[in-house]
Amino acid sequence: MKVVKFGGSSVASADQIKKITKIITSDEERRVIVVSAPGKRFSEDVKVTDLLIQLGESLQAGIDHQEAYRQIISRFGGIVSDLGIDSSVMETVKNKIDQSVELIRSNDSTGMDSLKSCGEDGSALIISAYLSHLGYKGAYVNPKEAGILVRDQPGGALVLDESFERLYQLREREETLVIPGFFGFTPDEKLVTFSRGGSDITGSIVAAGVKADLYENFTDVDSVFCVNPMLVDNPRPMTTLTYREMRELSYAGFSVFHDEALIPAFKEKIPVCIKNTNNPSAPGTMIVAELPEREDHVVGIASDEGFLNLYVSKYLMNREIGFGRRLLQILEDEGVSFEHAPSGIDDMSVIIRDHHLPKDKEQVVVRRIKDELQVDMVLIERDMAMIMIVGEGMNQTVGIASSATSAFHKAGVNIEMINQGSSEVSMMFGVKSEGLASAVQSLYKTFFE
């Protein structure tokens, strides 16, 4: 049995839905389908989820929301009529949107997540109806009925373990099941969405729950490339990689796959294949638990901008018990999550995603660090980028760090931070954002050309 997930661009229009229907019906093992909300049809287009968020925020702010509402209805209406399916489906889709709008109007705390979920819900209703229209046995399955139980964290749901046993029951069903991605329900039946891009998470949860033989994730690229194709022309595709490698790569800039989505599949050791809806015969990229040793120790280069370095120094910090905890406690108190915390003898850097520490919070955090920790210096450096080289076995190989640092040298980019940490599959470098592209290009030359 295969669980197949289709991303936003794969369900963006009636033509795309026709393509995915061919993919689904060409293999009878493809029995459980998870879908995203309609995404972009062309580069300037707007994703339905973004329109829904725009609508919700306008309603909350009490400003005009007619245009966003009109665009959402017209996106779904266009798909339904182009597919030639019964217009009653459109009524169901519209009713769900209207009910969520009412929830927001009445200040119900579930309103926003409920509205955000209408994108994937609409896709699933339409695709299941289209399968039936073509004579296949298609069934829409709501995440509540499927048994996807989550913790109550609006916009950031986390799956509860009970879900997996419930999902296993889906194996009994005979139809092709179409499940909307991106949301689940709390044990007291509140709808909660995952973080953005979270349909990948649903797909992985469902694959783990039904103990699928394969989780296929259809997107709009032939395979995962070893480096961001916006930075390097025609980069090498990756045919196979391990969960751990993908986890590291998707953390820093590999937006092909949600970084939280691997865990459920990984726990059940279900292989994941990333494929292209627009070129389904291409082999794609396989992600598996283990691989025999490969010749290339570095399999990918990930990079992402938008970080800052909170640098703190204090003479004899190494002798002060609890310093690190108290520093991180201040961040916790202020609701700031951190990414890495490399430290020296008398100093410590805390790497934070830029948007997690807006200017007003920055002032509070800096003042508290000065007052409560009596440090010699506290500095915030914004415009940082992280570059990560990734590969199993890399750390047992002599000379990788040396090749990497000489690549930075050749590019004339200063390394602000190096973190090999305890992860055995990656090495991370912090640089100023302006040096990101040339450093990545130089690393690509070193390891892949």
Residue among 74 and 414 whose Cβ is closer to ligand ASP: 74
- CA-CA-CA-CA dihedral for 418, 424, 425, 426, to nearest 10: -10
- Residue 66 CB, shortest distance to ligand ASP, in Å, is 22
Residue among 180 and 430 whose Cβ is closer to ligand ASP: 180
| 3-state DSSP assignment of residue 309 | strand
**CA neighbor of 71 nearest in space, from 91, 45, 32:** 45
Residue among 113 and 245 whose Cβ is closer to ligand ASP: 113
- Residue 154 CB, shortest distance to ligand ASP, in Å, is 14
Residue among 55 and 439 whose Cβ is closer to ligand ASP: 55
Instruction: Give the Cα separation of 1 and 7 in Å (integer).
Output: 20
Structure-block tokens of residue 211: 């103990």
Residue among 100 and 441 whose Cβ is closer to ligand ASP: 100
Enumerate binding residues for ligand ASP (CB under 6 A): 8, 36-37, 47, 49, 119-120, 181-182, 196-200
- Residue 182 CB, shortest distance to ligand ASP, in Å, is 4
Structure-block tokens of residue 276: 């292209």
Structure-block tokens of residue 295: 């010749």
Residue among 121 and 245 whose Cβ is closer to ligand ASP: 121
Instruction: Give the Cα separation of 311 and 290 in Å (integer).
Output: 38
- Residue 104 CB, shortest distance to ligand ASP, in Å, is 18
Start-to-end CA distance of the chain, whole Å, equals 39
Q: Tokens 């093992």 appear where?
A: 29
Angle at which helices 88-105 and 118-133 cross, to 10°: 170
- Residue 23 CB, shortest distance to ligand ASP, in Å, is 18
- Residue 113 CB, shortest distance to ligand ASP, in Å, is 12
- Residue 336 CB, shortest distance to ligand ASP, in Å, is 23
- Residue 76 CB, shortest distance to ligand ASP, in Å, is 14
Q: Tell me the residue number closest to ligand ASP, measured at CB.
A: 199
CB neighbour burial string for 324-345, b if at least 16 within 10 angstroms, e if fewer: eeebeebbeeeebebebbbeee
Non-local (6+) Cβ contacts of 222 within 8 A are 237, 276, 279, 282, 284
Residue among 53 and 131 whose Cβ is closer to ligand ASP: 53
Is residue 178 exposed (0-12), middle (13-18) or buried (19+ Cβ within 10 Å)? buried
Residue among 261 and 350 whose Cβ is closer to ligand ASP: 261
Structure-block tokens of residue 380: 């915030």
